[in-house]
Structure 1
């Protein structure tokens, strides 16, 4: 009977993710304009257009200099040859590498809302991946957590994205809440991203909100010098505030903890820890001048993203 109840819980929606579910998300890409199209410019990428570096832009043509052109783009060789000022024109590189760093660890195997954090992170990775393919970008990434690292190199290929999603599902299916978390997993994933990504790439960070450590923050800062970042930390409302639910008992790895949530001081201290984590992510995003989009297990993914995209620039983060 107990085994039957456990199996029922395992099959409940929002606890595990399936490959079919992640594939079906491709039908919702049109609901969320994550990337620009010829007819619509996404507010998400407005930040990146002014920060393209290295091979993120390609030379297009040379034309006669016009008032208002940036003098730094003057082609001096053509100017000397024709005795008339000419300037270089550039266009954005069409195929941009999109690299998804997705955490699937015991930290995310929890949720009090619609989905577990691990499921929400997988859904977001899938949506961004399908949107990138629709935009003719190259998609790859790395699934990390619980001592595992599975990497797929960025390619403009549906098969490449499906391989990444399949790895994501396989790791997700093995989460059981009893594995020990590797404290270095996030930092190792970020170091790997620094090794494989070239300037002009976009790294999408999908991790537990609590994963940000001093070492990881340093790695993100180094990564942000060369590539663009989209920060999407995942959280559950219970990560930020405790309800007055009486005496709560916790057990893990043989250790036990009792917490009296009727104590207002305990609830306040817990809430302050949650607020400090939020503030730390915001300071990091402000310092690196990147977009921060925290994802809440309490709400449906597409609805959250649409709200971010419809917000004014000063409130989008």
Structure 2
């Protein structure tokens, strides 16, 4: 539910809406987020994720002299023995890999108490990953879902395909409002569609509301993970996890009204526990499927968050 006093359609710069121009401009920041490997640098995702691909995804590129910080597991012992100097193997991910962005734009995300609404954050992160994939020479496409509408763009290795996806994303974002009905199984339908169109070795990037994970969706994600690789990016707002002790709060939605006394410590504790349970469920799913999990918070810049997540993944790979 949304606070009754929530403004209906503030301008894009407030973080309530995004635009095609804003999503295009994010291409200037993609080099700040090392999502994919280069011939001289392995992405932290390779060790935890892409190395377990079904017979594809990471290719040998070259050998060079070992440098401080290189993964010792990539040392080429034959070359090292021959030259009497440590050498390491360099890798790059297979070119023209299909990257499929599943991005939720439903009323569930039309809320935010911090820097941006969740719907805007999901769009920003999708744009960053899309531009990074295109820069990496991968094929980019995806599906924008929510509010009884699905817009699909077939993965292609050209800027026009990504621009079409971002345009669909910006249009869906611009149509969101607090009265838009929520399609009950939009996430499940999107995942089923991804299973139909994606071939083995593709990477499906999931950008959705943290609360979207249901039993049905979890089952669909498990089935999808059997054939393609997943990157999970659930989006949340600080108010999804904790209520402030702000007294009586009134909420309104489609004629329904709710009052909560946030001075009630038991109520706040129960609310916090529900938020923790959602986060734990995502973590358990990611652990079971052995896929990266990168939750995104509306109060922080997406570039900084993705960079931090990748840093943690990198540390974990060397632990």
Q: TM-score range by the shorter chain?
A: 0.7 to 0.9
Q: TM-score, normalised by structure 2?
A: 0.84
Aligned pair count?
A: 283
Report the CA distance between 1:227 and its aligned residue.
Answer: 0.6
1:230 aligns with 2:228: no
Quote the Cα distance in structure 1 between the aligned partners of 2:31 and 2:93: 22
Secondary structure at the counterpart of residue 257 of structure 1: strand
* 1:126-205 equivalences in 2 (<5 Å): 126-205=127-206
Contact 2:39 2:92 in 1 (8 A): no
**Which protein is bigger by CA-based radius of gyration?**
1
Quote the Cα distance in structure 1 between the aligned partners of 2:286 and 2:235: 15
Quote the Cα distance in structure 2 between the aligned partners of 1:198 and 1:19: 29
Quote the Cα distance in structure 2 between the aligned partners of 1:254 and 1:283: 37
What's 1:286 paired with? 287
What's 1:42 paired with? 43
Quote the Cα distance in structure 1 between the aligned partners of 2:30 and 2:191: 27
What's 2:213 paired with? 212
Tell me: higher relative CO, structure 1 or 2? Use CA pairs within 8 A at least 6 residues apart: 2
Report the CA distance between 1:45 and its aligned residue.
Answer: 2.7
Between 1:244-253 and 1:48-57, the stretch displaced more is 48-57
Distance 1:55 1:33, change over 3 A: closer
Report the CA distance between 1:11 and its aligned residue.
Answer: 4.4
Contact 1:56 1:199 in 2 (8 A): no
Quote the Cα distance in structure 2 between the aligned partners of 1:8 and 1:193: 32
Secondary structure at the counterpart of residue 206 of structure 1: strand
What's 2:96 paired with? 95
Q: TM-score, normalised by structure 1?
A: 0.85
Secondary structure at the counterpart of residue 188 of structure 2: helix
Contact 1:55 1:199 in 2 (8 A): no
What's 1:252 paired with? 253
* Off by >3 Å, runs of 4+ in structure 1: 5-8, 54-60, 90-93, 312-316
Quote the Cα distance in structure 2 between the aligned partners of 1:26 and 1:58: 26
Q: Which runs of 5+ in 1 are unaligned?
A: 61-89
Quote the Cα distance in structure 2 between the aligned partners of 1:6 and 1:256: 17
Q: What is the CA deviation profile of residues 52-94 of structure 1, one whole-angstrom value per residue up to 9, with x for unaligned ones?
A: 215657999xxxxxxxxxxxxxxxxxxxxxxxxxxxxx99532
Report the CA distance between 1:47 and its aligned residue.
Answer: 2.3
Q: What is the CA deviation profile of residues 108-139 of structure 1, one whole-angstrom value per residue up to 9, with x for unaligned ones?
A: 00011111000000000000000000000000
Distance 1:30 1:56, change over 3 A: closer
